[in-house]
Structure 1
Amino acid sequence: MVENGEEAKTALSTRVDYRTISPYVRFVHEVIIAVGAINPERYIYDHEFIYVVKGAGTLRIEDRMYPMGPGDLLYIRPRMANEMFVSESEPLHCFAVHFDYVFLGEAAEFSPYVVYLGNRAEEGAPDASWLHARPDAELIDMNIPERMTPARVHDFFDAFKELCRAFEERRADAQIWLKASMLKLIGLIHGELTTEEGIRVSHSHADMMLGAIQYMKENFASAIDLKLLAARASLSPKYFGTLFKQATGLTVPQYLTGIRIGEAKRLLRENAHTIEAIAEKVGIGDMYYFSKLFKKTEGLSPKRYADSLRWLASKEG
Structure 2
Amino acid sequence: MADNLVDPAAGSYSLNSRIILAGEFEQPVGYRIRRPQGTRDWLLTFTYGGAGSFGFDDDRHQCAAGDVVLIRPGDRHDYETREGEVWKFVWAHFLPEPGWIDLLQFPNKKGELFVLHIEQSNVRERLLTAFRRVVRDSVNGDVLQQRLANNALEEVILLLGRYTRQFEGGLMDSRIGQILDYLSEQFREQHTIASLAGRVALSPSRFAHLFKQETGDSVIETLLKMRLNYAARLLERTALSIARVAEDVGFADSFYFTKQFSALYGKSPTAYRKSIDYGSAVQDGSGDEPV
Q: Could you tell me the TM-score, scaled by structure 1's length? A: 0.45
Greater RCO, 1 or 2 (C-alpha within 8 Å, sep 6+): 2
Query: Between Structure 1 and Structure 2, whose CA radius of gyration is higher?
Result: 1
